[in-house]
């Protein structure tokens, strides 16, 4: 065991207790610098490099504790604020490390997805505030969020990229209505958000008015990086923020709730080779040489993905490396879906509790499409690689 792994292990022995509230557990993690290890000391980090941060998160996984806050707050909002935010915004970062804030991304609209600069949601300056009106869609976790990263148009006469601004917005105000959207896998992973005379503080404008595109580009890069990265195995991930209701639950209670939830519905959008091999053994198809071959191919593919992703993280990459890892993940999801359905055979037509293993193979199969769309579609990732890594000519707008 490395020194840092031994330190984390000893720290967990001293600090982990199932009667702690989540709030207290996350507060302790942040105070020790283990919440977001690569961040500076004092705001939840310990100035760790990427490899050390990975060791810390793997050590927590090995002990099966509750993972540090994750998702759009730590992975998108915070690094964006470190780059573009004011001192006032930076002073709040500790709240992301302690899980007191939970963030969502309000970018996509019914007529603006890949072509994001076409956003029509408007933000009009009114004294010390902006008044925001419009509709956002496909916003992951918006129903649990208390803060939003908003891309809105402040100038309808300017060239489209020049007319957009970037604002932070309070999701818990009356002008923000969030409606969960249920997709074909039966889950409401994302929402549509209606903004009607909602207010954003003028001090929460990030960058200049009309200069939001540069900030959005930072966030899109961070999103690709987050979408491509996996989570450390073993630790339980819990939703942060006041709206989730988790902060005052004990960590023991949260483990119990997660066990019950897993019984009700499968959770994995992509099945690992370990799971697929187990399912193949269960249904007896593991003796088929063609199936064995494909399972081995999938295992190799998963390993290549893991290493590609490590390379992307090692280079700190939110650029082409993250796009390559994201495309590798989409390919893996499709492979996992096809293998899973071949293992299930005719049983693949059943879902939920009627199906073998509670429908885990079917749930993942019905989730596959989302993997290659969320965080930017495969085609858009190919464009990023072509234009930014290979220097190919930009496609005509
Ligand atoms: C699981 C999931 C989570 C998401 N979470 C969020 C979120 O939290 N916040 C948020 O704001 N949005 C979120 N989205 C929305 C996501 O960013 C958009 O769906 C995505 O950018 C595509 O936009 P669109 O759906 O409008 O499709 P379109 O942009 O209309 O694309 C339709 C098709 O055309 C192709 N296409 C479009 N433009 C080009 C081009 N220039 N070159 C080649 N092909 C092109 C696309 O690849 C796609 O196949 C999420 C989506 C999913 C599936």
Close Cβ partners of 318 (under 8 Å, ≥ 6 residues apart): 218, 221, 222, 224, 225
Q: Are strands 147-153 and 103-106 parallel, antiparallel or unpaired?
A: parallel
Distance 57 CA to ligand 1 centre (A): 31
| Beta strands 205-206 and 164-170, pairing class | antiparallel
Q: Is 133 helix (H, G, I), strand (E, B) or coil?
A: strand
Residue 229: the pLDDT is 62
Q: Check if 223 is active-site.
A: yes
Backbone angles phi, psi at 41, to 5 degrees: -60, 140
Q: Which domains does the chain have, with CATH numbers?
A: 102-212 (2.40.110.10), 265-389 (1.20.140.10)
CA distance 393 to 97: 41
Pocket test residue of 77, 102, 114, 144 for ligand 1, highest count of atoms within 8 A of CB? 114
Whole-number pLDDT of residue 316: 64
pLDDT of residue 278: 95
Which of 316, 254, 358 has the alpha carbon at shortest distance from 49?
316
Distances (CA, A) of 35 to 15, 68, 196, 228, 244: 14, 5, 36, 20, 19
Q: 223, 260, 279, 387: which one is catalytic?
A: 223
Q: Is 332 helix (H, G, I), strand (E, B) or coil?
A: helix
Q: Name the residue with the closest Cα to ligand 1, atom 35.
A: 379
pLDDT of residue 309: 79
pLDDT tens, residue order, the chain (397 aa): 679 999 999 999 999 999 999 999 999 999 999 999 999 999 999 999 988 998 999 999 999 999 999 999 999 999 999 999 999 999 999 999 999 999 999 999 999 999 999 999 999 999 999 999 999 999 999 999 999 999 999 999 999 999 999 999 999 999 999 999 999 999 999 999 999 999 999 999 999 999 999 999 999 989 988 876 656 678 899 999 999 999 999 999 999 999 888 877 777 899 999 999 999 999 999 999 999 999 999 999 999 988 887 777 776 666 788 888 889 999 999 999 999 999 999 999 998 878 888 899 999 999 999 999 998 999 999 998 999 889 999 877 6
**Is any ligand 1 atom within 6 A of the Cβ of residue 370?**
yes
Long-range contacts of 87-91 (CB under 8 A, 24+ apart): 88/203, 89/168, 89/204, 89/206
Nearest atom, ligand 1, residue 376 CA: 21
**What is the Cα–Cα distance from 47 to 50, expressed in whole angstroms?**
10
Residue nearest to atom 23 of ligand 1 (CA): 113
Supply the residue whose CA is at minimum distance from atom 6 of ligand 1.
139
Q: Compute the distance from residue 138 Cα to the ligand 1 centre, in Å.
A: 9
Contact, 78 vs 30, CB < 8 A?
A: no
pLDDT of residue 253: 97
Neighbours of 345 (CB within 10 A): 11
Residue 359 CB less than 6 A away from ligand 1: no
The model's pTM is: 0.94
């Amino acid at each position: 065991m490395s020194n840092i792994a031994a330190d984390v292990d000893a720290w967990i022995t001293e600090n982990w207790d199932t009667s702690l509230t989540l709030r207290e557990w996350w507060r302790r993690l942040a105070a020790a610098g283990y919440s977001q290890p690569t961040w500076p000391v004092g705001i939840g980090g310990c100035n760790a490099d990427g490899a050390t941060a990975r060791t810390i998160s793997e050590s927590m996984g090995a002990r099966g504790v509750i993972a540090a806050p994750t998702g759009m707050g730590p992975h998108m909002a915070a690094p964006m604020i470190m780059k573009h935010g004011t001192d006032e915004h930076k002073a709040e970062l500790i709240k992301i490390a302690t899980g007191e804030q939970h963030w969502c991304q309000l970018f996509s609209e019914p007529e603006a997805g890949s072509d994001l600069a076409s956003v029509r949601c408007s933000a009009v300056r009114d004294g010390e505030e902006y008044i925001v009106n419009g509709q956002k869609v496909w916003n992951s976790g918006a129903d649990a969020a208390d803060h939003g990263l908003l891309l809105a148009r402040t100038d309808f006469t300017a060239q489209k990229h020049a007319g957009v601004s970037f604002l932070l917005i309070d999701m818990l105000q009356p002008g923000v209505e969030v409606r969960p959207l249920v997709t074909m896998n039966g889950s409401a992973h994302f929402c549509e958000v209606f903004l009607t005379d909602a207010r954003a503080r003028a001090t929460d404008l990030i960058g200049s008015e009309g200069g939001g595109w540069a900030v959005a580009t930072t966030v899109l890069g961070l999103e690709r990086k987050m979408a491509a990265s996996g989570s450390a195995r073993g630790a339980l991930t819990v939703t942060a923020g006041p709206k989730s209701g988790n902060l005052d639950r004990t960590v023991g209670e949260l483990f119990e709730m997660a066990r019950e939830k897993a019984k009700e519905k499968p959770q994995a959008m992509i099945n690992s080779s370990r799971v697929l091999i187990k399912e193949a053994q269960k249904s007896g198809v593991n003796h088929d040489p063609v199936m064995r071959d494909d399972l081995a191919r999938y295992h190799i593919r998963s390993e290549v993905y893991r290493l590609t992703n490590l390379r992307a993280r090692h280079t700190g990459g939110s650029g082409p490396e993250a796009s390559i890892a994201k495309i590798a993940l989409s390919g893996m999801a499709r492979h996992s879906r096809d293998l899973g359905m071949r293992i299930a055979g005719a049983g693949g037509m059943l879902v939920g509790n009627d199906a073998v293993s509670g429908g885990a193979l079917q749930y993942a199969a019905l989730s596959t499409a989302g993997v290659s769309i969320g965080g930017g579609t495969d085609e858009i990732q190919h464009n990023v690689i072509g234009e930014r890594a290979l220097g190919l000519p930009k496609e005509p707008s």
